[in-house]
């Protein structure tokens, strides 16, 4: 009955570039499993300059939006409400429209990271290492604020980035120490390593993976596996992929946008795997 009451609704992912996004595959798979046959989910190439006009032109049929770069901060001034989670990292990746047209922003990347780690058996760690210092690294710090009881060491390329990570640590109440990228091999002995860098950046580290690695969370998913993830897995370490993150954060988005209590995680992951295999 819920599907009938909420028929004809729309959602989409916005960003630039956006052609590579797997979000339509994941959300459409969820709609099919949930019986929301009249729901649609599209993608739109939207940059920061075009965002206000796009948002202002949406009608009452819109249920929600997923946001990727470079819009996660640009959307904030256009919202009526921002969740505490999104405010903590000044980044919104989810917008849900209320029945009155109100716009509420949230960040599902952070709980999505926690859920992906929990699925791998990681409930709590005594320390962790982060490779990189971009926007994803701040979300990783926010996730670690929920599960890490000790120090987080961030390996970065510049003092400016190091200062940013230390500031995020203070804001998120995480004990952050920064080290130079040249010493990044030292990160690989941590109980949990979160790689947040662009494709190819960590390839050289694959040659120095320890014999008994613990857990690697590599936020990339295409191409997959990365050189680091492949070597890590070959040495028997646990690996959490960017697809795991993408699926878990999308599950939370589907639940918020549709009002359904439980989105079909396994169905969404299988759809994502099939889409990647076909690329």
Active site residues: 72
What contacts 260, CB < 8 A, 6 or more positions away? 2, 34, 254
| CA separation, residue 3 to residues 9, 36, 157, 233 (Å) | 10, 5, 49, 42
Give yes or no for a contact between 106 and 255, defined as CB atoms under 8 angstroms apart.
no
Q: What are residue 11's DSSP bridge partners? A: 41, 64
Give yes or no for a contact between 214 and 235, defined as CB atoms under 8 angstroms apart.
no
What contacts 224, CB < 8 A, 6 or more positions away? 241, 242, 243, 276
Spatial separation of the C-alpha atoms in residues 10 and 139, rounded to whole Å: 27
Q: What are residue 159's DSSP bridge partners? A: none
Spatial separation of the C-alpha atoms in residues 236 and 223, rounded to whole Å: 21
Tokens for 228?
């680091």
């Amino acid at each position: 009955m819920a599907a009938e009451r909420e028929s004809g609704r729309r959602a989409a992912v916005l960003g630039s570039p956006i052609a590579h996004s797997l979000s339509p595959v994941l959300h459409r798979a969820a709609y099919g499993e949930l019986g929301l046959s009249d729901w649609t989910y599209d993608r739109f190439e939207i940059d920061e300059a075009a965002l206000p006009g796009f948002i202002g032109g949406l009608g009452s049929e819109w249920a929600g939006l997923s946001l990727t770069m470079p819009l996660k901060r640009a959307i904030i001034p256009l919202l009526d409400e921002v969740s505490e989670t999104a405010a903590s990292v000044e980044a919104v990746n989810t917008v849900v429209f209320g029945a009155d047209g109100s716009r509420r922003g949230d960040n599902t990347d952070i709980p999505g990271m926690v859920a992906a780690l929990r699925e791998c058996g990681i409930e709590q760690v005594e320390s962790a290492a982060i490779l990189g210092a971009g926007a994803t690294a701040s979300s990783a710090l926010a996730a670690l604020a929920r599960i890490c009881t000790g120090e987080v060491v961030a390996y970065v390329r510049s003092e400016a980035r190091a200062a940013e990570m230390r500031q995020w640590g203070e804001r998120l109440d995480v004990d952050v120490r920064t080290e130079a990228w040249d010493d990044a091999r030292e990160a690989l002995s941590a109980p949990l390593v979160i790689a947040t860098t662009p494709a190819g950046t960590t390839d050289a580290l694959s040659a120095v993976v320890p014999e008994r690695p613990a857990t690697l969370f590599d936020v990339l998913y295409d191409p997959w596996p990365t050189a680091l993830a492949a070597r890590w897995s070959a040495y028997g370490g646990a690996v959490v992929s960017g697809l795991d993150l993408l699926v878990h954060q999308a599950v939370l988005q589907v639940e918020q946008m549709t009002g359904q209590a439980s989105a079909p995680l396994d169905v969404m992951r299988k759809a994502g795997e099939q889409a990647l295999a076909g690329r």
